[in-house]
Structure 1
């Protein structure tokens, strides 16, 4: 008997937690954070209590209340006896929080299978920020803990396209797909009842559409009994977008000014990172990165497939922010940030301001206090290279962003390419694969697939579907 149970990603974008059971084998396809559900109960100054372990998350339905899944220390804090893990593995499609973050709560004996590049991204994320109970994917410290405690490391199994591996009665074939973060994968999972295909997050208008097409063709070839497909933009109107268009628009924006230019984008998006890095080089500018983003360069440059520059590259500048005394004293910087202090390419805001026509700054809204130290002159340019705001909190941030831009007399430009497939591309992919049954996830409009899917199940959260 083979079954699917959907504990997240149901009538929402993200939060995927899909339990696949085949005979006695149980694996989760992703185990992510639901931003929409979390935002229904919590905000900036009202957060789940770390001191209460997993209890707040269980009580408010942010994680499913299932046996044999969670860490011993969290079960003890919840007043429950530790449970033997009843999950054989997690298959992680990519490093975005809505697919990965709540692995943090899972038992350390549950192995996590992920792409090699995905592992590097998660290492960078862990190194650039303070430990957080919702961000303990690779290792964790048992609660309650003190800073001197050694973390418990999870069992991480890396893979690349071309690999196949077995988990109990299952054989798993990961296939690289194009998304707004590198090392994103879809899975073909061979069960006792037949193959299941899971897209993860995909697009066909990025820099490597051939990778997503490889997944579609393989899924079509195996004739899956079930296709689990994302549908983030299934109902969106068609737009002309591509990474090439972002490059062309942004290069024009940079080349037409001798003033400072700021590019605001998600640094995990390596395509976008390399777009602006190349624009900087081609326009005679150095590429300025924030100190915490330098950790991405440090780790991702280890993967030769990505061609990401290292932190000591001659075209990279690391921005050193004011902290502590405000005097750039060595004592102001702690922990792993200290490794950047003595590098030849670490510049202060004042040094950057002295060379306005020689730098392109990957410094976005949440670091805008740097504009004060740079004593910004009117006419500087700001390129917003992320999606437009879609909820109330993001709309408030946009109002603040516009206030900063107006205060300093900056010119704003919008240029972006989504990490998710356009609606028609999704419809075409689902039709081409022709699975026996379609299960839409990661979408607020699953019924839109009725145009192309003869057999489709609009899933309900927590309900088991036998295949």
Structure 2
């Protein structure tokens, strides 16, 4: 039986990968992520898919594939979507970014999910600190008795199992290889089908602190005879997004954007030149699960004789992943920001979640009034969702280091503009210092040239036409259709 490859996401856009591969009587998805572009086309913060309809709205707007029996029985029932034996034997995840794993929450709970050990642990921690609801039930689920009133406390519990990729034992030979990315545990897959060899890179780079992971994996892959290379191309054809970011910053902040940084080491050096001579508070924004960037600012804080102040969710990630990251929430160089909730009593019963309560009892927890006493000696995590804390901290002046990716969607651009307006209002000295989690376009092309695959399928990119012009053996899939790999 000839193998089949069908793409249900990740085509001509950033993220939303959903790649179905069939061979030898088995079927597997590689990634099953959220497409922020597709979801943002129809939905926003106060216009969301209706939970009362289960997966109904997600199917109606084409956000998930219309594949019978793939999804949870309870979530399929409101719209009578067919249920039964799942048509896939598992899902292999490349890494723990939502645009690669987010819609796993809908898949029938007995379908095994495979990934690296670190990826699985990050997803478990992410679920713990999440807001709940059907879009956040990756591991622990509440089976919803749609059509009947039953107290939520009596909804049956269910558990989805995540496995290490090496636990899979089946007809298809699937091997994981490590890569460097802006989240730990990332990797790609070598998939040996009965009639061809497929390489799926996942998201990768070779300029981070763990660049040797990518370089070593690519060196091994160069010895392979590759039939199909499924390769990400985030930074191929992304000039419009970069220009949009540059224009927003220069228009609102009123200062030119500094040159792009080439490595995590260069970012650290640049940040040190800004922070070391300063006698003011420093506010930083980085991905809350980007542990490379966290460690960079952790080291900067040490070298500048400052403390790094982190939010409770990051403290929880450090607690859950301390054996991997090597730094725990009670570390002497960290402070945990105790944000007020509910009625502002700081009592653990005042709307604090169970997982938060033991962390808020640590000795390095500080409220705003306590942080004010040492504000000029701190580096404070302050992303878009925590900007409201500036009202309580009242910095007379300060530095703001923006260290996250540029917006890749219209909704993200609106948030980015709002973020900049806050920074401008509080008169913070703004610096954009970021290193991409993805290879540059020239690096991507060098990888392709070195691997010399027979066929190339670019995904996770808006630059498919650039790939087509450069390589005659490029295949551009059509969503939901079997690709021609003859």
Q: TM class by shorter-chain length? A: over 0.9
2:261–2:434 CA contact under 8 A, matched in 1: no
Q: Does 1:156 pair with 2:157?
A: no
Q: Does 1:384 pair with 2:402?
A: yes
Residue by residue, what CA displacement relative to the aligned partner does 1:1-40 show, whole Å, maximum 9, x if unpaired?
1110000011111100000001211000000000000011
- Farther-moved stretch of structure 1 (326-335 vs 123-132): 326-335
Residue by residue, what CA displacement relative to the aligned partner does 1:394-415 show, whole Å, maximum 9, x if unpaired?
3332332233223322211110
CA distance in 2, matches of 1:334, 1:2: 48
Residue by residue, what CA displacement relative to the aligned partner does 1:93-150 show, whole Å, maximum 9, x if unpaired?
0000110000111011110111111112112211112212112222321124714545
CA distance in 2, matches of 1:439, 1:372: 48
1:60-139 equivalence runs, <5 A: 60-139=61-140
Q: Does 1:448 pair with 2:449?
A: no
2:217 corresponding residue in structure 1: 215
Q: Does 1:337 pair with 2:356?
A: yes
2:417 corresponding residue in structure 1: 399
Instruction: Give the drift of 1:236.
Output: 4.7
2:271 corresponding residue in structure 1: 250
2:175 aligned counterpart, secondary structure: strand
CA distance in 2, matches of 1:61, 1:48: 12
Instruction: Give the drift of 1:73.
Output: 1.1
Q: Does 1:227 pair with 2:233?
A: no
- Farther-moved stretch of structure 1 (104-113 vs 293-302): 293-302
CA distance in 2, matches of 1:331, 1:239: 46
1:42-441 equivalence runs, <5 A: 42-144=43-145, 146-147=152-153, 149=155, 151-159=157-165, 164=166, 166-236=168-238, 239-303=260-324, 306-307=325-326, 309-332=327-350, 333-377=352-396, 379-441=397-459
1:5–1:18 CA contact under 8 A, matched in 2: yes
2:46 aligned counterpart, secondary structure: coil
Instruction: Give the drift of 1:284.
Output: 0.8
Instruction: Give the drift of 1:50.
Output: 0.7
Instruction: Give the drift of 1:390.
Output: 4.1
Instruction: Give the drift of 1:384.
Output: 0.6
Two-structure CA RMSD over aligned residues (Å): 1.8
1:461 corresponding residue in structure 2: 479
2:457–2:476 CA contact under 8 A, matched in 1: yes
1:431 aligned counterpart, secondary structure: helix
2:248 corresponding residue in structure 1: none
- Farther-moved stretch of structure 1 (41-50 vs 203-212): 203-212
CA distance in 2, matches of 1:91, 1:188: 11
CA distance in 2, matches of 1:239, 1:326: 42
CA distance in 2, matches of 1:456, 1:407: 48
Instruction: Give the drift of 1:240.
Output: 4.5
- Farther-moved stretch of structure 1 (360-369 vs 232-241): 232-241
Give unmatched runs, 5+ long, in structure 2: 240-258
Give unmatched runs, 5+ long, in structure 1: none
Instruction: Give the drift of 1:366.
Output: 1.5
- Farther-moved stretch of structure 1 (363-372 vs 279-288): 363-372
Give aligned pairs, total.
459
Instruction: Give the drift of 1:350.
Output: 1.1
2:68–2:83 CA contact under 8 A, matched in 1: no
The 3 A distance-change label for structure 1 pair 48 and 37 is: same
1 or 2, which has the higher helix percentage? 2
Instruction: Give the drift of 1:230.
Output: 0.7
2:121 aligned counterpart, secondary structure: helix
The 3 A distance-change label for structure 1 pair 325 and 456 is: same
CA distance in 2, matches of 1:44, 1:166: 38
CA distance in 1, matches of 2:266, 2:110: 45
